[in-house]
Amino acid sequence: MKMSMTIGRRSYSLQFLVDSKHVFLLIFIISISSCSALQIGISPAKINLSGFVGEDICSSVEIKSDYYGNLNGDIRFGKNMNIENNINNFNIEPEKIGIRVEYPKTLRIEKDTRDIKICLNSDREIETKGVLLYYPDEGYAGVGSLIFATIRENILKKQVITGLFIMQGFLIGDLLIILVVGRKLKKFSE
């Protein structure tokens, strides 16, 4: 008798759970537990790449994620240094402004941290701001570091080369003068 009463109470409790708002709570809890989120990070936030025309200018970057798969990399530049930090302002491909960039365009990450190297090179003077972006193949979050690129002519190197050319010119001139003067002296002595 007691046993059957207990079963009855139990079934009543279950009925109460099914009939009441508790079922919505149950669905809500299940929904929360089935929802997942992707986390991805990049360091440093700002990459300063300053150097001379024609030289490789490099820096290290750390990528970190709880994602298991491939990350895609992308680099875009803005019109100048003063643009606002909004990803929509960075839409110029590096090649279009004469910048050659080397970096991993795809990166395998297995819920861990990866160190990568980014290098810029240009044949002309440039001062601009860009972003280095990484985002997963199948994911909904991406991160980017700001790139501050300042590439200048190496004036000292240019001056040394110019000086060497001038000196070379003087030497050739001197040799010619010595030759001419020598011949004249030879003729005069004869």
Q: Would you tell me which residues interact with other proteins (CB under 8 A)?
A: 35-46, 62, 64, 85-88, 131, 133, 135, 138-146
Q: Which one, 51 or 142, has the nearer CB to other proteins?
A: 142
Establish how many alpha carbons lie within 13 A of residue 145's alpha carbon, considering only the half-sphere containing its beta carbon.
Answer: 23
Whole-number minimum distance, CB 93 to other proteins, in Å?
14
Whole-number minimum distance, CB 11 to other proteins, in Å?
34
Tokens for 140? 């909904």
Whole-number minimum distance, CB 55 to other proteins, in Å?
26
Q: Which one, 79 or 183, has the nearer CB to other proteins?
A: 79
Whole-number minimum distance, CB 19 to other proteins, in Å?
26
Helix pair angle (2-19, 22-34), 10° resolution? 70
Q: Which one, 39 or 159, has the nearer CB to other proteins?
A: 39
CA–CA separation, 27 and 23 (whole Å): 6
Tokens for 155? 């004036």
Nearest-CA neighbor of 75 among 37, 116, 109?
A: 116
CA–CA separation, 107 and 3 (whole Å): 63
Q: Which one, 2 or 46, has the nearer CB to other proteins?
A: 46
